[in-house]
Structure formats: C-alpha cells, structure tokens
Structure 1
C-alpha cells in the first residue's frame, strides 16, 4: 500500500541518518486488512515468537491500529522490555496505554472538521454530506471519530454514513446522489462480501466519474477527480514517528515522551476538480497545495523573467563601458606590444639558458642559449626530444628529485649545481635556478635558467689538484728529510758491520783474540749462517730506499714553471723509479710484478719542459695502465706488461706507453680525456687525471696526446713534444 510505503520512506529519510545510519530494520506485515481472524493473529504471534526469540531488539516501530492493538496485547510476551513507538493510530486515547509501559508515538488525528468547514465555505449550497468508511476495524474507528468531530455541523447540513454495502451497491448510490450532495471519503479497503482492493484503487473505483464533488481526508485518495481536503500524509506520520524513535534510541524513556496528537495535515486540492465545480483557486486557504495546476511561465519563472530584464539592462550599460574601455585597451595593447618586443629580445639574446618544463618533466619552451648549451640544433628539437628531463637531461636522476622536493616545499631553487648531459652524451656542469609558477592553461609549471659552469668547475678541480699536489709534495719532502737521517745511519752501520766482520784487519783480529775467539772462526760462523748475504741485502735495501727518497725530493721540489731541456727517456726512467714500488691489494695490482720493456731510440730526445708536470703525466699514465691490467685475467704463461717506446718523428720527440690490458672500445676512446669522465667507481677516481694530463701536454707544452685502443688488445698512449732545438724561449 502507498500509505505503508510512504511511512517507510519517512522512516528512511529521518531515522537512518547519523548516528543511526547503520541500524538494521526488520519489517513484518500483519496483512490484517485481508486476514483479521483470531486464528490469523495466533499464527502471526507464533511466527514472530520463533523468529525473534533469540534476537535482542532495541526498538519496535508500529503503524496503524491493528498493529498497535496487537502489540498492546502481546508485546510483553513476544518482546519483553522493548520500547514501542507507534504512528497512524486512529481514535487514540491515553487509556489504551494503561496496561502497558514504554509505549509512545504519533496519533493519527484526522482533520475532518476543518475539511467539512472548507466544503461548506466552497460549496455553500451543500445540503448533504455522505461519509464513506468500510466496516473493518480501522473504518469503524474512523467513523466513530468522524461522528464526534462532525456533530457541530448536524444542524446546518445533513450528514449520512454509509451502510455495509457491496462495492457495486455503494458505487450506484454515489452515482445516484442529487445535486447539493458531497461525498467525504474516509478509509475503504473491503466491502461486506470480503472483496479486497487497496485504499487507493478502491477509493478511485467508488468516486471516479462521480456526479457530485468528492472530498477526502487521506493524501493517497486525491486522484481521479477528487477535489481534496485537509489530508493526512503517511510520509509525515513516518517522519514524526522517527523523530520520537531517535529520542528513545538516544536514551529517553518512552513513557517520558508524550504521544504526539498534532497531525502533519495540510490543505491539498486538485486544480482540474476545482475548475470542474467552479471553485476559484485564489479562494483556497493560505498555504494550500494545488496539484495539476496549468503551467504559467511567469508565475513559475517570475524571478527568471525579471532577472533576464536586469541582465539586458546590465548588458546595455556594459556595452557603453566596453566602448570606453576599448579605446583604453588599444592604447594598452600598443604598450604591451612594445613591452613584448623588449622582453622577447632579452629572452632571445640572454646568455643564460631559459626554460619552462611541466611537473612531469616535459620541456615546454627554451631560448637559443639553452639550445647552444646542450648542443641541439633548434628550439623545436629540444621540445620534441626532451619529453623526460630526468632520464634525457640529468646525469644523475636523483638530482631531479632534489629539484622536485624544493618545488614542493619552498616553490623555488637557486644556485643548484649538478651534472647534465648534452645531446651527444657529453657531460657538462650546470647551475640551475628554478621556481614554481602557473602556466597559461592553469597548470603548475617550472621555469628558470641554466648556466654552463664546466670551465669553472674544471678550473676549481685543477686548483684543488694543484693544492693537493703541493700538499703531497711538501709532505713528501718533509718525510724524505726525516727518513734520510735514520736511513744514513742504517747504511753506514751496515757498512761498518761488513768491514768489522768480514775483513781480517789487525784491529779485528786483536779484538777477537781478546775475546778468546780466533777471527777465522768468526768468519767461518758468518759464512755458515749467511750473515754476509743478510748484510748485503740490508745494504742494497737501504740504497734502494735512499734512491726512492731522492726521487720523492726531486718530484716534490717546488717548480718555478721554468721550462728547461730534459731527455724524455730520463724523465720516464725517473717516473718508473717512483712508481715501481707502488702496489695496492684492493685494486689487485702490484707494479713490481709488471714486466717493463724499454725501447728508447739512441737519438737525443731532449725537449724543453716542466720536469714535474711531465713526470706527473707519465705517473698518471703508468698508474692507470697498471690498474687496468690488474682487472684483466691473463692466460697461463702471460702477465701484465708495459712497452715504453721513445723515438723521433720529424721535429717531434715521441714517448709511447703501451699496455696489454683489457683495452677500450671506440666510444670510450673518444671520451676518455673529457673532464670528469671516468670508468672507475666514485671512490677510485674523479675523472680529472687524464684531462689534466691532456691539458699539460697540449696547452702547457704545445704538444699532442693521443690514445689508441681496441677491446681485448690493450691501450697505447702517444705523447709528442717539440724537440729542444726548435724552441726559442721556454720561460712561461
């Protein structure tokens, strides 16, 4: 029934909201309109008892008289202690709750008196009102209430109540009523023959095409030509019952909440029925609801009509204002064009690279300086190529994360120095400045500038390396001087021991005899115990250490950057003297185990050079080669080997350093002398050794440094310097 479904809709809209949105609702229909015998109620009682015997309920909601009476009689047995909130109870009296506790709710108070008063006001010629209710329990309760409520009108109009007729008989009676009669429809669900039809359909069946006006007291009967009345709404009954239920669920006792007796009723009429019986709509009570009223654009959209007029008026004013602004806009546009040309010139001619990128790393725009710094051919190529700067522009992708973090936290980044990649893969040092802003499409973008600081970084590294070499040289000089003194004592002491223990001098013989030992016996003991061999080894080791110390002193001696004549072969041998004792178990090489083959031309290889710098180059190449060979696994019978060649080539002196290490591919050969490029791990190299060596040979000594290599075939470095006789001045 729509009455019941409307009550349920009111419950859903009012009760099942926070904090009670998770309540579980169990719905049971008595179906007592069709089945109302004692046996039926007994069966329902047994069914409910079996279903809810083990279930703890918080609250019971009840709709209409039959359910209310059933709970009054059986609640304490079926649901002991569970509070009840009811609605839709007609002819309610407080005495009905005398035998029960924890009952409260909403009484169904019909507005029959207000409806009949409105009938007599609208239709003053009314002589008789025919009231229709069925003979079920609810219908009888309604008739009793109507009789009490309409008693005051009995002197001014005849009020007749229907007998227990069949549907067909009742319909015929309505259609035979004379003029001046009015039908007031109450509740009708079943006739005397037990024919059951829903309230809505049966009401329509009785009153459709009625020759006299029909009024009603329930909202669902307002259809099929019924005029209307002050009607009861099932939805509002459900809403009011739910409001009381929320109070009970929140902790209030049901007995402390008075039963609500003011119904949620409202005057409601059908426009077509009003027109049929000549009842003006403007004569209805205030706040009446009129259904099916013809559409009136102005009445429905009066605010829109006036709003549209206001808009047109505003637009007229706006046209005038825009006309004035247009003149000013033209002047501003001219100024903007001049400003745009000025800033475009700055943008295009800036020495710094200027860029815009999206948050996900796509390059959106760059200037010509940016294109030049990274070796691209055009701005369009940069935008098309760099769709992910993290992988295609940044040397270390983690640097991109540093920038993104700065943008998230501060919105800008200044002076961030990092390594990036040019188009050809060459590494450059860059200073990045960036800030977060909003693009033309409203999206967040990053914009800023980049500056190529590779030369500065290289100079910084050179200065650091120079200072490091000076520090190491000073330390080496101090250590050499300190070592020289005990070393001289050791060597002189070994020489004295050799003279006193191995030479049969008069002093040695006399001292031996004084001790009671013949000197030949002492010499025989020394020979048998190999003491002479040990002393010779000590002497040779001391002399070798002295040679190393002299080399360290020579290398660490402060240079005045004065070029003097020196033979490349001698410089190479001097470098070998320094490096020959070098080994490092962590790098898997020992220079003493490397075979050295010298192939120096007999001709003079004298060049004008800075001795320390050339030795630095030779040492760097020898150590790099030794480390590379330490990583190669040689076949049995082979081992690491250096071939050192010195020869003339025209006006040049050439020194070649060739190893039989793992070699390099062509791409590696092309990049091996770039600044900061290294094949070693971060803890083993900075990538500056060969680049500094290249600088020393090419810039400082106006020579040539070349590398030749193949994978698996070793590597050969060739250093070519002008011969001494071709140089006029050597002071730099």
Structure 2
C-alpha cells in the first residue's frame, strides 16, 4: 500500500487522473461480477389438494430438479383444491387471494399441474402475474383452442394409455367379456370416461363396457362384487362421490380390489401397490421432473417458443405379481419390458445368507484340503529323495 501511495505522489496530474479512473472502472467491474445473481422465483400451482398422492409425486419431481440449496431458485407451492369446488365464484375468491398474496412479488415462471390449474392460468395469469412463462403437466384435455390464444405456454400432456391397459387385461384374461369402468364426474373423470367410450367404439365393440360414474362407492362395490370370471374392472379417477363427498383414490382402489372377484386395472403409479393387477402406468414423479427440466431451460435463457409441447407422456407396463397370483393370471404373454413388482423370492433369494455361508465354508475347506494335499505330497517326495 505504501508503494502505491509513493507512486501516486510522484506521477503528474494527468497521470493521477488516469490512475483514479482506472481504480473506479476496476471497482465497478469487480462489484458487478462479485454480486450474486438475483434468485429466480417459481410458483408451482396444483389443481388438487395437498394430500393427493398424484400431486405430491409431481411436487417431489419438481423439487428433485430445483434443489433450493444447490440452485438459485425459490419455489412457492399453491393448491387450488378444485375437487372441492371450481365454479366461477370459487375461482374469483382464489384470484383475489393470490392477487393479495403475490402483489409485491415478482414471479419469473409458473409450473402448473392438471387441467383445472391450466384453465385458471389461461383466464387469470396476465391479471395476476403478467405475461410470464407457464409450464404445465398432467393435462388431459388439450386441443387446438385450449390456450385461447394465450402465449408463453408449453409443457407435457398426460396421455394415459387406456387402450393398451385394456389390451393388457385381454392378455391376462383371454376370454374377457365385460369391463366395469369406474369414474367420477370431475373434470378429469368425465374426460377420461369419454375417451374410454371412444376407444370402446373404435377398438373393443365386441365386449360390454359398463360405466359406473353415477353410483356411490358402496353402490360400485355391490355392482361389481358378483362379476363373472370373464370380467375386469378399470378404475379411472374416482375421488368425488356423486354426493360430493371427497375420497382418497388409493383408498378407493383398495376397497374395490378387496371386494372384487375379478382383476382390477388402473393407470397411475400412486395407486399401484394398492390392489390393482397393473396397467400402462403413468408416473406423477416423472411428470414433475420433465416439467421442471423444461422450466430450467427457460430460466437459463432458452426461448419458450422454441420448446414444443410434449404430446406423449412416458409410461410403463407394470404388474403387481401378488395380485396376478391372487387371480391365477398367466404372465407368459406380457408385453416386452413389462415391470413385475412384488415377485415371490426364489429359493436362492430366500436363503442367500445361508448359501453364502455354506459357499464360504466350502471354499475355505477346499483351500485347506489343497494346501495339506500339496504339503503332504512335498513331504513324501522329500522322503523318497
């Protein structure tokens, strides 16, 4: 420091001015590069309630990409709870609540899940947050006019594979004659029931489909518990009874399966291991991961207009071995790459510790036998010589 002061005193006036200017410029550049970049804020808006497992799995998927300790992202999560109500009065109340809550916050991007949240944002995004990017997932209803001309929307469609799930039921019950289709009258339940009916007319008009959307849960149990052995049950969304009573779908699946004399199929990972034989299973966690990856690309500067909507969601054929065994289903004709869960362990898997100990002891004894054999042979050769 003393040398710098001495140097500054010795130089002439123009030199001193130049030196000071250089210090100022260096200070400005240093501050601009040393300041941390401002944190980005993402709002995750869910259609359903906080305890709905599908919604929770999407949240877990999003948070697996945006770890707040490792990324420069702050995440806020809101739940519309639209299975309780989603009329215009309720939407107006939600609009006022979000408007008040986020009035002084700059949201950089929104991730939304399922149809009701997307519909809400199409109508209210600009008024609440301005024209900011929206990445959606879990959306069933999507056509050319779905976005109503709104821009800066992209994401992935929840393409549940009803057709291949029915084909799987045929593979496991070759003489299948009837399918009971269980659905509620919510937005998603109605949509998927209509899709199933269209598939029936186009591909499966040789068998009977009975749609049970107007019955309460007890009525569904009574209707299906005497089904013939050549029938199956397909469960679509059923979380709201005709009376308006809310139900947890995994509990619904458990109750129907426990009382069913025939195999039960469905389409989502959060009801797997709750009594279904299987289906072409869609993962909420993967929906969350994929939507978060798209959001990350946008946050990092990629134009949302360059990111096309993903029209086909990844899904896997999955079978619960314990349920397949319960109904004595033949698993020899499963589609390639089918994932079989809950298989009974083989003899070796059951007794692997005992087998390991036995092999270890046998190996030790074999080594000792070889050692003593050659040692004895060496002694014998020595005596002969």
Same-fold status (TM-score > 0.5): yes
Q: CA separation in 2, counterparts of 1:94 and 1:316?
A: 74
Q: CA separation in 1, counterparts of 2:372 and 2:129?
A: 77
Contact 1:14 1:242 in 2 (8 A): yes
Question: Given the alignment of the two structures, is residue 4 of structure 1 paired with residue 55 of structure 2, yes or no?
Answer: yes
How much does 1:326 deviate? 12
Aligned to 1:185: 235
Q: CA separation in 1, counterparts of 2:145 and 2:349?
A: 50
The equivalences for 1:58-97 within 5 A come to 58-97=108-147
Cα distance change of structure 1 residues 303 and 97 upon mapping to structure 2, 3 Å threshold: farther
Contact 2:267 2:282 in 1 (8 A): yes
Cα distance change of structure 1 residues 160 and 299 upon mapping to structure 2, 3 Å threshold: same
Q: CA separation in 2, counterparts of 1:308 and 1:240?
A: 48
Cα distance change of structure 1 residues 95 and 305 upon mapping to structure 2, 3 Å threshold: farther
Q: Deviations over 1:431-479 (max 9, x none)?
A: xxxxxxxxxxxxxxxxxxxxxxxxxxxxxxxxxxxxxxxxxxxxxxxxx
Aligned to 2:172: 122
How much does 1:192 deviate? 1.4
Gaps of 5+ in 1: 329-732
> Which residue of the other structure, out of 200, 223, 236, is the alignment partner of 2:286?
236
Q: CA separation in 2, counterparts of 1:232 and 1:315?
A: 52
Q: CA separation in 2, counterparts of 1:88 and 1:42?
A: 23
The equivalences for 1:228-627 within 5 A come to 228-298=278-348, 316-317=366-367, 320=370
Compute the RMSD of aligned alpha carbons.
Answer: 3.0
Contact 1:225 1:272 in 2 (8 A): no
Q: Deviations over 1:233-282 (max 9, x none)?
A: 11111111112111111111222211112222111122222112211344
Cα distance change of structure 1 residues 299 and 150 upon mapping to structure 2, 3 Å threshold: farther
Aligned to 2:89: 39
Gaps of 5+ in 2: 1-51, 379-385
Q: CA separation in 2, counterparts of 1:322 and 1:98?
A: 87
How much does 1:188 deviate? 0.5
Cα distance change of structure 1 residues 298 and 94 upon mapping to structure 2, 3 Å threshold: farther
> Which residue of the other structure, out of 95, 101, 105, is the alignment partner of 2:155?
105
How much does 1:148 deviate? 3.0
Q: Deviations over 1:538-564 (max 9, x none)?
A: xxxxxxxxxxxxxxxxxxxxxxxxxxx
Contact 2:172 2:331 in 1 (8 A): no
Question: Given the alignment of the two structures, is residue 14 of structure 1 paired with residue 65 of structure 2, yes or no?
Answer: yes
Cα distance change of structure 1 residues 317 and 215 upon mapping to structure 2, 3 Å threshold: same
Question: Given the alignment of the two structures, is residue 27 of structure 1 paired with residue 77 of structure 2, yes or no?
Answer: yes
Q: CA separation in 2, counterparts of 1:91 and 1:201?
A: 26
Cα distance change of structure 1 residues 14 and 326 upon mapping to structure 2, 3 Å threshold: farther
Question: Given the alignment of the two structures, is residue 202 of structure 1 paired with residue 252 of structure 2, yes or no?
Answer: yes
How much does 1:197 deviate? 1.0
Q: CA separation in 2, counterparts of 1:275 and 1:233?
A: 24
Cα distance change of structure 1 residues 308 and 264 upon mapping to structure 2, 3 Å threshold: farther
How much does 1:130 deviate? 1.5
For 1:117, what is the secondary structure of its paired residue? helix
TM-score scaled by length of structure 2: 0.76
For 2:136, what is the secondary structure of its paired residue? strand
For 1:97, what is the secondary structure of its paired residue? coil
Point out the structure with max Rg over C-alpha. 1
Q: Deviations over 1:462-518 (max 9, x none)?
A: xxxxxxxxxxxxxxxxxxxxxxxxxxxxxxxxxxxxxxxxxxxxxxxxxxxxxxxxx
How much does 1:160 deviate? 2.5
Q: CA separation in 1, counterparts of 2:250 and 2:308?
A: 32
How much does 1:127 deviate? 0.6
Aligned to 2:40: none
